[in-house]
Amino acid sequence: MKMKNLLILIVAVAMFSSCSDPKGGGTTGPPASGLPGDMYLIMDSAQWKGPLGQLIDSTFTRNMQVLNRTEPIFRMRWIDPRKLNFVLKQRRNLIFAVTLDQNSAGAKRVRGMFTKQSIDRIKSDTSFFMTTSSNLFAKGQEVMFLVGSSEEKLIKKIKNNQDKITAHFDRAEVNRLTSTLFKSGQLKGVTDLMQKNMQAEIRIPFGFDLVTAENDFIWARQINPKDDKDIFIARKPYRSIEQFRKDSLIAFRDQVCKKHLFGDPERLQSYLVTETKISYKPVITREVNFHGKYAVEMRGLWRTNNLTMGGPFLSYTLVDEKNGLLYYIEGFTYAPGKEQREIMRELDVILNTFKFTGK
């Protein structure tokens, strides 16, 4: 049985089908509610307090990589299945977790959502433990089902697939953000300048200001009462694959920042540097596919040379092979005392609009 067909079996309760588009193209229900990053977990109370609940909770509330403050990837909220009402069903991110070896009232309530065919598959298919559905109870909603014939088997599956599980909801949050970030428009003039000066383009949302525009460096900034969001792009000739090494990337970043970026432009010693001296917050790099192109993602912390400011940054480095140019694109923020997880997601969305346009 294909995964898509299983979803049809799962959604067997009549009150759920009234919200679903029979063609599978969306929902006629209300818009999903809740804050970005909020997760709602529906499972039996005993399992929530036990090893399975602790594992699911820790999977989603792991600390986000390289923030200058401790913040979870998501915020977890537990819901007793017996108290799942119409309002809670409309939350943007829902997880239903159940195993067949539990017979409590809460477990029976969740298990009652499944048809006999679905239950049979959970028993017989040892590879099956997760499925997802969009727009199940509300527009823009993501729902995940975590299932197992026994708690022991489901725990093992989750431990082996933690990144896959959280990545699904991370993509959902990014997609939602992408659809709303540019609704108010874009920073005017950036497209023309980028094409003229750098043979590339990037979408910068309305509200940012263009600070610097040179042939090899562009910087846009949004200053708000409680945070400062920055995007910059730098480039140089591409010589060899060695330029993708972490130490080379840090050196290039520091070179660019020392020339262009200052905590206080009136104080030349306040230039930005990459923080490399905090052992428990190391700079992290990994190879990624950036819209079909090889790239290296780098995450870390920055600070001013005079130690007056600091925060997290995220960057991608990739090459325009036709023109022999290496591009470094970065988003960083200064938001003391404020949660920065969603700011970094927003900057990541902007960075991912970057592409080459030169001949």
The pTM is what? 0.81
CA gap 78, 53 in Å, rounded: 9
Task: Give pLDDT tens digits along the chain (359 positions).
Answer: 343 333 433 443 333 333 333 333 355 678 999 999 999 999 999 999 999 999 999 999 998 877 877 888 899 999 999 999 999 999 999 999 999 999 899 999 999 888 888 899 999 998 999 999 999 999 999 999 999 999 999 999 999 999 999 999 999 998 998 888 988 888 988 888 888 889 999 999 999 999 999 999 999 999 999 899 999 999 999 999 999 999 999 999 999 999 999 988 888 889 999 999 998 899 999 999 999 999 999 999 999 998 889 999 999 999 999 999 999 999 999 999 888 999 999 999 999 999 998 65
> Are the CB atoms for 312 and 344 separated by under 8 Å?
yes
pLDDT in tens, 96-152: 999 999 989 999 999 988 888 889 999 999 899 999 999 999 999 999 999 999 999
Could you tell me the domains of the chain? 3-181 (no CATH), 190-356 (3.40.1000.10)
The pLDDT score that the predictor gives to residue 28 is: 64
The pLDDT score that the predictor gives to residue 5 is: 37
- Per DSSP (E only), the strands in the chain are 38-42, 75-79, 93-99, 130-134, 142-148, 200-201, 209-213, 217-223, 228-237, 272-275, 284-290, 293-304, 310-320, 325-334, 355-356
The pLDDT score that the predictor gives to residue 267 is: 85
Kindly report the CA angle at 227 between 222 and 231, in degrees rounded to 5? 40
The values of phi and psi at residue 65, to 5°, are: -60, 130
